[in-house]
Amino acid sequence: MHSVKFLGAFFLLAGLLGEALPIRAEELSQRTELLIFASGEVRGFDGGQPFVESDNLLLSADLLGTWTRGRWHALAEVLLTTDEQELERLQLGWEPVPDTFLWIGRFHQPGSIWNTRQHHGQYLQPSITRPAIENWEDEGGVLPQHVEGLLFESRRPLGARRGVALSAGVGISAQLKDGALEPMKLFNPRNNDRLPSYSMQIAFLPDLTEDDAVGLLASHNELAFDPLPRSDGYDHVDLEVLGCYLDIGRGRWQLTSTAYAVHAKVSGALAAAEDRFLAGYLQLQYQLDGGLTALARLEATGGTADSAYLVLFPGFVEGRSVLDLRWDFAPRQALSLELADTHAPRKDYRELRIQWSAALP
C-alpha cells in the first residue's frame, strides 16, 4: 500500500511539473567538470572512544565528477579516506525540460536535508561533524542515506522570485548488519534480501537566487537483517520518517534546523516490537570579520528509552552540544576547530577536532 501511494504521487507530481515548464531546444554542447574536496582531521576524545571512530587522524579526498551533453547528464562521486574507499554516487540523468531531472543509479535519498545539501565534501559544510541523526550509514547513522533506483528532481518558479523544489526517490534500501546500516554496493551487491525505499522532499524557496529553503521530508524504508536467523526472532524493520526543516540566512546570520518523527516496527515470525522517537537539531552560525565563522549546534533525541530499533545501534549519539570556529584563510581553503559534549547510551565523552579542508582546483 505504501509503494502504490508513493508511486502514484511521484508520477502525478512529475507530470504536473513537466507540463508547467516550457520545452527548450536541444543543446549540442558537451561539458565535463571535476571537483576534489580534500581534508585532513585530527581528533581527540576525553571520556572514551566513540563506537564508530577508531583513528585519531583522518585524511580524505572526495572526487566529484559531472558530464553534460545536451539533455543528458552523468554524475559520479568517489570517497577515498584512510579508513574506507567507496563509490558514493553514480547517476545517469535526463533533463526533459529546464531544471527537471530524472536520474537512475545510486543517489543520496532526498528524505535527509543535510546530506542532499552538503554531500560528502567536508569543505561544503560549516561544521566538522554532521548532526548525528544525519550521519552516513558507516558513521553510526540510523536512517538510510544511500539508495539505488530512480530519483526525480525539479525546481519550479512561483511568481517573479519565489519557487518550489521537489525531489522523490524510489529504490533499494539498506540492510542491518553488525550494528550498522549497510547500503548496497553497486559493484559488489551480494544477494541478500534487499527491500524497497521511498523518500521525498518538497521545499518552498523564498528566493530562487538564494539557498534559503523551508520544507517537508518523508521516507519509508524496509530493512532486512543480515545474517539470519537471529536469536531474538527479528528479521525485518519498517521505518517511517516524517520531518520538517528550515535553512534561512539573514545578513551575517544563518539558521539551520531539522526535526524528525520516526516510527520503527521491528518484527519477525516469533517477535514484534514497535516504537516512536523524535530527533532533531538547531544550528546557528554567524559570519565574523576576517573570514571567520562561529557556529553552535544543539542535537537531541527523545523517546529512546527501551527503543527496539535504536538498541540495534550501539554507537548512536542521543544528544550533543557543538561549538565550531572556522577560518576561511585562502580561496577555497579553511581551517576549523570543533568542541563537542556528547551523550551516547553506553558512555558520555567530549570531542576536540581540528580540520583543514579545501575545494580543488
Residue-by-residue DSSP string for 183-225: PPBTTB--SS---EEEEEEEEEES-TTS--EEEEEEEEEEEEE
Q: State the pLDDT at residue 293.
A: 98
Extract the C-alpha cell encoding 146: 544511500
- Element spanning 327, H or E: strand 319-330
CA–CA distances in Å: residue 201 to residues 8, 33, 109, 215: 15, 27, 9, 7
With bands split at pLDDT 50, 70 and 90, how would you rate the model's confidence at 204? very high
pLDDT exceeds 90 at position 77: yes
Q: State the pLDDT at residue 22.
A: 44
Picking from 263, 295, 299, the residue whose alpha carbon sits closest to that of residue 280 is 299
Per-residue pLDDT averaged across 226-252, rounded?
Answer: 90
Q: State the pLDDT at residue 269.
A: 73
pTM confidence score? 0.87
Residues 319, 297: contact at Cβ < 8 Å?
no
pLDDT exceeds 60 at position 4: no
Extract the C-alpha cell encoding 79: 570517497
In angstroms, how far is CA 80 from the centroid of its own chain?
Answer: 18
Per-residue pLDDT averaged across 10-30, rounded?
Answer: 47
Q: State the pLDDT at residue 18.
A: 42
Q: State the pLDDT at residue 54.
A: 61
pLDDT exceeds 80 at position 212: yes
Q: State the pLDDT at residue 188.
A: 64
With bands split at pLDDT 50, 70 and 90, how would you rate the model's confidence at 143? very high
Residues 41, 80: contact at Cβ < 8 Å?
no
For the stretch 277-316, pLDDT in tens is 999 999 999 999 999 999 999 999 998 877 889 988 888 8
Q: Which amino acid is at 187?
A: F
Extract the C-alpha cell encoding 131: 548532526
Q: State the pLDDT at residue 66.
A: 95
CATH number of 2-20+104-117+125-346: 2.40.160
Q: For residue 132, with 0-12 CB atoms within 10 Å meaning exposed, 13-18 middle and 19 or more buried, which class applies?
A: buried
Per-residue pLDDT averaged across 126-146, rounded?
Answer: 93
